[in-house]
Amino acid sequence: MNSIPSVNLQDFLSEDPSRKQKFITEIGKAYEEIGFVALKGHFLDDTLIENLYSQIKEFFDLPLDVKEKYEIEGIGGQRGYTSFGKESAKGRKVGDLKEFWHFGQYVEDDPVLEAEYPDNVMVDEVPGFNEVGKQTYKMLEKTAKYVLRALALHLGLEETYFDAYIKNGNSILRPIHYPPIQDEPKDAVRAAAHGDINLITLLMGAHGKGLQVQNHKGQWIDAIAQPDELMINVGDMLSRHTNNKLKSTIHRVVNPPRELWGTSRYSIPFFMHPISEMPLNVLDNCVDAENPKQFEDVTAGEFLNERLVELGLIKK
């Protein structure tokens, strides 16, 4: 596969069984073959998107000393600000050329989970930042729910199989700023080759060149969404749960050509995580004689913790 397939969520949401099945078939095939789709028909509207970009640009334009007061020690970067170069891909010692912010779950009716998750960090200097972040989080979470419902049906599961695991899940909305490149990077890129940890990732801002996906032949292909599309990919948790039937694809954000070094790039991924207790044990119907069980039993919380240690975001 040498390009990213495009699908429309409105097919799945329609009352027409053939349109719904078309969406299930298309997204299932794409996730088995390359692990990425471009999705139209999601729940974000243009006004919300414009407002979000305006607010995040205003935040990242703040002086560094102001931003750094929102960098919270001891929580592995799970909420608030993470400064430039702090995060590196698994297996790499060089930090990525980015700074970012984390919005987390807005827990409803569950005091235990409310106590488990760190609080969201409130920004005083940009009044609309937190509210627009929350609205975006909710709309992307809603979009992700229906994508997972389609995947449940593709996998031969009950349609709402994932619903209970993602309600109040440990999902993260991450506005990222890749600042202008000042000097020749020695061995750093905006985001080194990596797979995502979570169930699925919904990415805003893949409208220009930069994001690349590695296909099964090992070739890097550009993943460019249309302005009305989200790029959505399978994460390691879902790949593991399906015995690698659905592929978590390695991807990266490359540095722009030298003439564009003076420009910022923004992207906004939503990492859909389940609750920590979700078992990621390989699904029985994804195991057969030709595809024996590849992964040990583990919970989502255990797997996340292991990966955050590998990324250097938390210490053992």
> pLDDT per residue over 203-248, tens digit each?
987 666 778 888 878 888 888 888 899 999 999 999 999 999 999 9
Phi, psi of 204, deg, nearest 5: -95, 145
What is the pLDDT at residue 98? Answer: 82
As a whole number of angstroms, the distance between CA 265 and CA 208 comes to 9
Pick from 216, 256, 239: nearest CA to 294: 239
What is the pLDDT at residue 195? Answer: 80
Q: Summarize pLDDT for 98-113 with one digit per residue, the tens.
A: 899 999 999 999 999 9
CATH architecture of 41-310: Sandwich (2.60)
Could you say which residues of the chain have pLDDT below 70?
Answer: 1-2, 85-96, 182-192, 206-208, 255-257, 259-260, 312-313, 316
What is the pLDDT at residue 89? Answer: 46
| H-helix or E-strand spanning residue 20 | helix 17-33
Mapped onto helix, strand or coil, the DSSP state of residue 64 is helix
As a whole number of angstroms, the distance between CA 316 and CA 307 comes to 11
Contacts of 228 (CB under 8 A, 6+ apart): 40
Q: Which residue's entry shows tokens 């995502």?
A: 196
| H-helix or E-strand spanning residue 31 | helix 17-33
Q: How far apart are the first and last CA of the chain?
A: 39
As a whole number of angstroms, the distance between CA 5 and CA 240 comes to 23
What is the pLDDT at residue 218? Answer: 84
In a 10 Å sphere around its CB, with 0-12 CB exposed, 13-18 middle and 19+ buried, how is residue 313 labelled? Answer: middle
Q: Which two tokens stand for residue 41?
A: 């028909």
Secondary structure letter of residue 298 according to DSSP: -
Angle at 243 between CA 237 and CA 247, to 5 degrees: 65
